């Protein structure tokens, strides 16, 4: 049996709430623009694409700026991507159009189960799963997580919440690189895809991505 956004009810994530990704988010009930008109300002687009050294981005494949970006390969459901950023809680317990909601959707639709756990930020995911689920090297289908980087304070004054991405290819630009898709990288609740380094520098602080291989789960009840 499937719920209203098409997710198998057997893979619902219970009790997981995520309040931020790599950038700022609009609080539920805020004034985020709906997906049909969601665009990135020139400043936001520059910060998302020009900061290769700061974010580990090697190449931007689909620049953030549009939600429900079907032409760019976005499969996130209409019921979530057409609503304003963080305006609703998805069936997985996440604010819509945040990075955690998107990755949970991708894991579920590729046959993986994310267990019930409590984590206020996606950057805490690696500390909330069994060590055996952590891949030493990335695999297609992994959740790539940048854990909270100590010392980093975002433009909105919040501490770095980390960021979660879905791995679609490995070794794209040589060893130590991956291709990912994600939401809310630029803080505007939109879809993007990038080739990234698995380690690098984030606002002057070193980081290494952590790769979580969620177990296979049933696609039906």
Long-range residue pairs from 54-57, CB within 8 A, at least 24 positions apart, any chain: 54/201, 54/202, 54/203, 54/204, 55/22, 55/196, 55/200, 55/202, 56/196, 56/197, 56/198, 56/199, 56/200, 56/201, 56/202, 56/207, 56/209, 57/194, 57/195, 57/196, 57/197
Q: What is the pLDDT of residue 30?
A: 37
**Nearest 5°: CA angle at 110, between 131 and 24?**
70
Residues 170-190: pLDDT tens digits? 999 999 999 999 999 888 999
pLDDT band for 219, please (50, 70, 90 cuts). Answer: very low
Residues 104-135: pLDDT tens digits? 999 989 999 876 553 668 888 999 889 999 99
Helix or strand (DSSP H, E) at 55: helix 52-55
Residues 18-67: pLDDT tens digits? 335 643 333 333 333 333 333 333 333 333 333 323 478 999 999 999 99
Residue listed under structure tokens 């931007």: 60
Q: What is the pLDDT of residue 114?
A: 78
Q: What is the pLDDT of residue 51?
A: 30
Are 138 and 167 within 8 A, CB to CB?
Answer: yes
**What is the rounded distance in angstroms from the CA atom of residue 68 to the CA atom of residue 124?**
27
**What is the rounded distance in angstroms from the CA atom of residue 62 to the CA atom of residue 49?**
10
Return the half-sphere exposure (C-beta side, CA atoms, 13 A cut-off) of residue 143: 32
Q: What is the pLDDT of residue 145?
A: 94
Residue 17: what are its φ and ψ, rounded to 5°? Answer: -125, 130
Are 176 and 197 within 8 A, CB to CB?
Answer: yes
pLDDT band for 81, please (50, 70, 90 cuts). Answer: very high
* Average pLDDT value over all residues in the chain: 76
pLDDT band for 3, please (50, 70, 90 cuts). Answer: very low
Q: What is the pLDDT of residue 117?
A: 52
pLDDT band for 140, please (50, 70, 90 cuts). Answer: very high
Residues 190-205: pLDDT tens digits? 999 999 999 988 878 8
Residue 96: name the closest of 115, 120, 110, 77 by CA: 77
Question: How would you classify residue 84: left for phi > 0, otherwise alpha for psi between -120 and 50, otherwise beta?
Answer: beta
Q: How confident is the model over 75-94, as a mean pLDDT?
A: 92
Q: What is the pLDDT of residue 97?
A: 96
Cβ neighbours, 10 Å, residue 36: 10
Say which DSSP state 35 is in: G
Q: What is the pLDDT of residue 116?
A: 55
């Amino acid at each position: 049996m499937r719920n209203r956004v098409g997710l198998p009810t057997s893979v619902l994530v219970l009790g997981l709430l995520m309040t931020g990704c790599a950038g700022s988010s609009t609080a539920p009930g805020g004034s985020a623009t709906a997906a049909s008109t969601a665009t990135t300002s020139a400043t936001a687009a520059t910060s998302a694409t020009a900061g290769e050294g700061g974010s580990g981005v090697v190449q931007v494949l689909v620049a953030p700026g549009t939600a429900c970006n079907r032409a760019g390969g976005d499969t996130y459901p209409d019921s979530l991507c057409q609503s304003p950023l963080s305006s609703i809680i998805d069936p997985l317990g996440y604010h819509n159009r945040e990075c955690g909601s998107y990755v949970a959707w991708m894991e579920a639709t590729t046959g993986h189960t994310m267990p019930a756990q409590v984590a206020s930020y996606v950057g805490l995911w690696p500390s909330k799963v069994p060590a055996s689920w952590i891949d030493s090297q990335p695999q297609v289908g992994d959740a790539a997580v940048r854990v909270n980087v100590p010392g980093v304070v975002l433009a909105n004054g919040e501490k770095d919440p980390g960021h979660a991405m879905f791995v679609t290819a490995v070794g794209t630009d040589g060893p130590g690189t991956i291709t990912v898709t994600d939401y809310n990288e630029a803080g505007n609740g939109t879809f993007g895809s990038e080739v990234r380094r698995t380690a690098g520098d984030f606002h002057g602080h070193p980081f290494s991505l952590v790769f979580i291989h969620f177990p296979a789960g049933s696609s039906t009840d």
